[in-house]
Amino acid sequence: MSLSLFDLTGRCALITGSSQGIGLALAQGLGAAGARIVLNGRNPDKLDETADLLRQDGLEVETLSFDVTDHDAVRAAVDGFEVDHGAIDILINNAGMQHRAPLEEFPADAFEKLLQTNIASVFHVSQAVALHMIPRKAGKIINIASVQTALARPGIAPYTATKGAVANLTKGMATDWAKHGLNCNAIAPGYFDTPLNAALKADEAFNDWLCKRAPAGRWGDLPELVGAAIFLSSDACSYVNGTTIFVDGGITASV
């Protein structure tokens, strides 16, 4: 009985930015838990390649290419999928970007792009999906925040601002939509070896700092995010709303 709470068989999960990195790892994990996966990104060819790889592992996978920063395109894609392929039961807002520069030199256009990609997209996709979830009185929305939701490092102040906003938007979603049967939560990864962190991974000094700073003493492995995602996608989280789960090796718990 207790394990059945985590079974995602028969559920459909849309994961934005899922052709690589965290999004791909979560697609693999939720698919292995029984969910039908809908991969999203702006490059249809890359999505098709990723879908083929996942199908080789026996997962049920579809693709839905749209720009998460384009409100009208998001709405059209989600509405069309619901009509043609059925309900989206789980949404993971994973699409994101990074730009590093001293704050006093930070380009204004890069700041605006971060806002659109990291936070406006969460609004666009969540609203489009929630408009279908609300009449069904059920749905799981998971937003990917960051260890920078609670902390800051030099050179990424705008990124930190967007990830703080993700956590607060998650609280707002829960406040508005819990009464409709939706569970809206966030996962805040620490330092994982992803394309977004490639520059940090290549920095020997940063690697040394991280291994000393994190109580776990290492980088996170992408599969270590899957458990939290399955929990927040499943019936096991039926009374969990508006929270952010930090999967960070203890960094935010220590000084």
Domains of the chain (ranges; CATH) run 3-248 (3.40.50.720)
Other C-beta atoms lying within 10 Å of the C-beta of residue 2 = 6
Other C-beta atoms lying within 10 Å of the C-beta of residue 194 = 21
The parts of the chain modelled with pLDDT lower than 50 are: none
Catalytic choice (159, 192, 219, 246) = 159
Instruction: Report pLDDT for 140.
Output: 98
pLDDT, tens digit, for every residue of 108-134? 999 999 999 999 999 999 999 999 999
Place of tokens 């939701």: 149
* Cα 232 to Cα 89: distance, rounded to the nearest angstrom: 12
Instruction: Report pLDDT for 136.
Output: 98
pLDDT, tens digit, for every residue of 147-178? 999 999 999 999 999 999 999 999 999 999 99
Pairing of strands 139-144, 244-247: unpaired
Query: Residue 122 to residues 92, 93, 233: CA-CA distances in angstroms?
Result: 9, 6, 17
Instruction: Report pLDDT for 167.
Output: 98
* Cα 26 to Cα 24: distance, rounded to the nearest angstrom: 5
Of 220, 234, 240, 189, nearest to 9 (Cα)?
234
Instruction: Report pLDDT for 255.
Output: 85
Q: Respond yes or no: is residue 159 known to be catalytic.
A: yes
Instruction: Report pLDDT for 1.
Output: 53
Place of tokens 């693709």: 63
